[in-house]
């Protein structure tokens, strides 16, 4: 079997290609030097291990001896895992989107030996790809200087487009209204969600809408978010047997999913359903949050506590094969009577229930969705889940990414608070300790991005710092261990030193000085994942309240000014940043509890705080002299906050003013308004 240079890598995606006849190189100096020495263009292929169309292009093209010979003869082929190197992916995706009008994975880009792009696309079928290779090679031979000049011009344009124009003033709060109306125009009142097919969950939009409701009292914003949560939970995008959600729906009804499961989706959707539960009081929202979290604990958690990245859409060579059911199979496994109940509830039909099947993969098969409501079929679901567990599982990408683990850490920490479930607090603690033990350097408070198979590597990016800090802050408010707050402060200082644009505000996504990167960009788009800037701003505002450091609020406000023109022009492109803008304009609320951590009176006060949807509030606990010393070093007012006559007390402070303390839960409800 042919083996190429990827065999020594840790990325599951790169290892999937280690036996292609293509002489793949990893992104790095050796490959760049080879391109310069041989004066060959680079063929850069970017994807990830659970990407369906990446698998298709591998089977059709990269396993072809003929196409491999062309790539090896005329190019230096380089493979990049976009999840390990989002910095590389972001630069060349910007080029592909600008030059073709669309983007996606696999991404296929041709670069000069100086790493400047000159032609690109996404998936190419084998005949078309062969023609592209021949044409690019011919142009490189005949007009190399023209290609080089064109690539320099392209990079100049991309550099200008990537430059964030810093506003002189804070963003106009009218951007919040504009964002709401943009989502209102896109809202699908029939099926939930926004826009038509394909339809993506986009939790950041739901996050913003609930905060817009909380700020403006706009019931329509709340209802759009809740109906979207309900519709997704009913649909086939939701795994009704095993829990969790698939990546997106190819139709507008949330019925036919693209079946891969990503950790970042599970994390953000769990938080969305938890917040939906706080807002609505609907136990169904809590139940869906639990099924996401329990899926992650069962199938996506490393023995040491970290969380794996993804599960594939494909198994046995077909998309969705692991998740699909025939009517005959349900009858065989459940018996006629139970199968009748199950099939009625989950829309299982004799001839199959998939109407949108462009590739003919689902004939005679069924995707489970909630066709009717009101039945408790947990026992039947568990029986079929056990049957499904004997099938060939999809590939699991078992690398552990700091950023995505930070998001999942937040979800478990919030679930521990809102659902009062000790299992989730333990999962959050184990994840935090894994990251701190494997991916955090305490000597200089720096992070690495990826851990797999005993190796931690790749200096952390902005989103690694921002998402992990968010997780640590949420875990502090769940466990009240000041060590987590202390590390969050240290990582925030490192983040500011390494990524902040001190002149114009905001944060770059990458470190300075990496000569392999053609651009240093500031990420601002809240898509499948929130942008690092959006979460960094939110963290700074929270830390300003928790520590009393005004410099954190100043840095957050400066960052918002940096993106003020972007927010004014395209508010719905950055719903998480809109949420941060809303938080910056609200009077910060800080609640300090003084009482024994595990005492029932402290728990009752905490229960009040955690039941309410109050996104701009921070909670601190003074449960002894060690905590008092640590917290009062940041905020001197805390030193005087004590229990009252031996009973736990809550001190509610807004802005620079603290109201009367409360010892009774109902009194605390009144103080909170």
44-56 pLDDT, tens digit each? 999 999 999 999 9
- Check if 5-162 and 589-672 are the same fold: yes
Does residue 344 surpass a pLDDT of 90? yes
CB atoms within 10 A of CB 391: 13
**Would you place residue 474 in the very low, low, confident or very high pLDDT band (cuts 50, 70, 90)?**
very high
Predicted confidence at residue 163, as pLDDT, reads 78
- The CATH architecture of the domain made up of 589-672 is 3-Layer(aba) Sandwich (3.40)
Q: What angle do CA 261, 265, 268 make, to 5 degrees?
A: 155
**Would you place residue 655 in the very low, low, confident or very high pLDDT band (cuts 50, 70, 90)?**
confident
Does residue 373 surpass a pLDDT of 90? no
Which helix (H) or strand (E) segment holds residue 441: the answer is strand 440-441
DSSP state of 672: H
d(CA 362, CA 355): 9
369 near 271, Cβ under 8 Å? no
Q: Hey, which CATH number is domain 174-312+398-585, 1.10.510.10, 1.10.443.10, 3.40.640.10, 1.50.10.10?
A: 1.50.10.10
Domain residue ranges of the chain, discontinuous segments joined by +:
5-162, 174-312+398-585, 323-390, 589-672
Q: For 235-280, where are the alpha helices, taking DSSP H only?
A: 263-280
Does residue 167 surpass a pLDDT of 70? no
Average pLDDT over residues 231-242: 98
395-442 pLDDT, tens digit each? 999 999 999 999 999 999 999 999 999 999 999 999 999 999 999 999
Look at the alpha carbons of 336, 342, 345, 347 in this order and tell me if their dihedral is positive or negative: negative
Task: End-to-end CA distance of the chain: give it in Å, rounded.
Answer: 69
DSSP-derived secondary structure for 190-234: TT-SBSSSSB---HHHHHHHHHHHHHH--HHHHHHHHHHHHHHHH
634-646 pLDDT, tens digit each? 888 888 899 999 9
d(CA 198, CA 32): 38
Neighbouring residues of 388: CB distance < 8 A, sequence distance ≥ 6 = 241, 242, 322, 323
DSSP state of 125: -
3-state helix, strand, coil in the chain (%, to 5): 50, 15, 35
173-191 pLDDT, tens digit each? 999 999 999 999 999 999 9
Strand partners, 450: 401, 457
DSSP-derived secondary structure for 583-644: HHHSPPEEEEEES-TT-HHHHHHHHHHHHS--TTEEEEEE-SHHHHHHHHHH-GGGGG---B
d(CA 462, CA 208): 22
Q: Are strands 649-654 and 657-658 parallel, antiparallel or unpaired?
A: antiparallel
558-576 pLDDT, tens digit each? 999 999 999 999 999 999 9
The pTM of the full predicted model, rounded to 2 decimals, is: 0.97
Average pLDDT over residues 342-352: 97
- Residue range 5-162 forms a domain whose CATH class is alpha beta
Which helix (H) or strand (E) segment holds residue 520: the answer is none
259 near 323, Cβ under 8 Å? yes
**Would you place residue 166 in the very low, low, confident or very high pLDDT band (cuts 50, 70, 90)?**
low
């Amino acid at each position: 079997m042919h083996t190429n240079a990827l065999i020594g890598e840790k990325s599951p995606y790169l290892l999937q290609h280690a036996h292609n006849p293509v002489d793949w190189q990893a992104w790095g100096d050796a490959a760049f030097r080879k391109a310069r020495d041989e004066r060959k263009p680079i063929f850069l292929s970017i994807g990830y291990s659970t990407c369906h169309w990446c698998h298709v292009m591998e089977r059709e093209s990269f396993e072809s001896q003929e196409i491999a010979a062309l790539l090896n003869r005329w190019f230096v082929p380089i493979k990049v895992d976009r999840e390990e190197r989002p910095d590389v992916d972001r630069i060349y995706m910007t080029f592909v989107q600008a030059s073709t009008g669309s983007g996606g994975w696999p991404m296929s880009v041709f670069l000069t030996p100086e790493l400047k792009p000159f032609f690109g696309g996404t998936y190419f079928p084998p005949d078309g790809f062969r023609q592209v290779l021949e044409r690019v090679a011919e142009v490189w031979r005949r007009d190399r200087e023209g290609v080089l000049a064109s690539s320099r011009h392209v990079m100049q344009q991309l550099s200008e487009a990537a430059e964030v124009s810093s506003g002189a003033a804070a963003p106009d709060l009218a951007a919040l209204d504009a964002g709401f109306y943009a989502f209102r125009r896109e809202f699908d009142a029939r099926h939930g969600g926004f826009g038509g097919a394909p339809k993506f969950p986009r939790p950041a939009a739901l996050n913003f809408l609930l905060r817009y409701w909380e700020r403006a009292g706009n019931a329509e914003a709340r209802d759009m978010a809740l109906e979207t949560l309900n519709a997704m939970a009913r649909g086939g995008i939701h795994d009704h047997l095993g829990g969790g959600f698939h990546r997106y729906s190819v139709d507008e009804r949330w019925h036919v999913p693209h079946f891969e499961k990503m950790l970042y989706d599970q994390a953000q959707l769990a938080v969305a359903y938890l917040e939906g539960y706080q807002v609505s009081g609907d136990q169904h929202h809590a139940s869906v949050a639990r099924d996401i979290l329990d899926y992650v604990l069962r199938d996506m958690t490393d023995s040491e506590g970290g969380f794996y990245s993804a599960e594939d859409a494909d198994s046995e060579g077909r998309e969705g094969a692991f998740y699909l059911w025939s009517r005959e199979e349900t009858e065989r496994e459940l018996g006629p009577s139970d199968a009748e109940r199950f099939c009625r509830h989950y829309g299982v039909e004799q001839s199959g229930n998939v109407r949108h099947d462009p590739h003919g993969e689902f004939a005679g098969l069924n995707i489970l969705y909630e066709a009717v409501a009101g039945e408790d079929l947990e026992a039947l679901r568990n029986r079929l889940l056990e049957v499904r567990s004997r099938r060939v599982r999809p590939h699991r990408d078992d690398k552990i990414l700091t950023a995505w683990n930070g998001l999942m850490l937040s979800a478990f920490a919030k679930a521990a608070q809102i659902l009062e479930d000790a299992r989730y607090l333990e999962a959050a603690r184990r994840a935090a300790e894994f990251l701190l033990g494997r991916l955090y350097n305490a000597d200089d408070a720096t992070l690495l991005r990826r851990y797999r198979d005993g190796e931690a590597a790749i200096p952390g990016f902005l989103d690694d710092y921002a998402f992990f800090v968010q997780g640590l802050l949420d875990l502090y408010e769940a466990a009240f261990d000041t060590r987590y707050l202390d590390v969050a402060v240290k990582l925030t200082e490192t983040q500011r030193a390494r990524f902040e644009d001190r002149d114009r505000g905001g944060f770059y996504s990458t470190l300075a000085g990496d000569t392999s990167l053609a651009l240093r960009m500031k990420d601002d788009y809240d898509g499948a994942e929130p942008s690092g800037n959006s979460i960094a701003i939110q963290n700074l505002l929270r830390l300003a309240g928790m520590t009393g450091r005004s410099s954190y609020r100043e840095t957050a406000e400066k960052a918002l000014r940096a993106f003020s023109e972007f927010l004014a022009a395209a508010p719905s492109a950055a719903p998480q940043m809109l949420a941060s803008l809303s938080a910056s304009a609200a009077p910060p609320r800080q609640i300090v509890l003084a009482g024994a951590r595990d005492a029932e009176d402290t728990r009752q006060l905490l229960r009040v705080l955690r039941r309410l949807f109050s996104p701009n509030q921070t909670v601190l606990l003074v449960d002894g002299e060690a905590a008092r010393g640590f917290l009062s070093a940041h905020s001197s007012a805390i030193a005087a906050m004590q229990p009252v006559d031996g009973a736990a007390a809550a001190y509610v402070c807004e802005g620079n003013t603290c109201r009367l303390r409360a010892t009774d839960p109902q009194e605390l409800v009144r103080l909170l308004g």
